[in-house]
Amino acid sequence: MATYEYRCPRDGDFEVRFPIGAAAARVTCSACGADAARVFSAPLLTRTPQSLAAAIDRTERSAETPEVVTSVPPRPRPARRRQASPALARLPRP
């Protein structure tokens, strides 16, 4: 059995299951009884944004093999003092 898509002019799209290759070109809508034509749509070809796909992949990967560290990360360096302008360095200190 396969799922085929039909479009009723009044009720919109709906799906009907038929044996493969036995789908009728038109069926009657179960809601209103009108004639509904078969609709061909691309199956499973939606394009997922790359950033979303990467996030989904990372989530699935972390469930099986979470990323772990093997050593303690280095201590963060203390923030360096901003280097004053060379002209200011030549000024007399109080």
Q: Distances from the Cα of 55 to the Cαs of 1, 16, 61, 66, in angstroms?
A: 34, 35, 10, 14
Strand partners, 39: 5
Give me the residue whose beta carbon is nearest to Zn ion. Answer: 29
| Closest C-alpha among 10, 9, 1 to residue 37 | 9
Per-residue contact string for residues 47-86; x = within reach of Zn ion by CB under 5 A:
----------------------------------------
Q: Does 8 bind Zn ion (CB under 5 A)?
A: yes
Query: Does the protein bind Zn ion through residue 6 (CB under 5 A)?
Result: no
Single out the residue of 24, 31, 37, 55 in contact with Zn ion (rule: CB under 5 A). 31
| Phi, psi (degrees; rounded to nearest 5) at 56 | -65, -45
Is residue 5 close enough to count as binding Zn ion by CB under 5 A? no
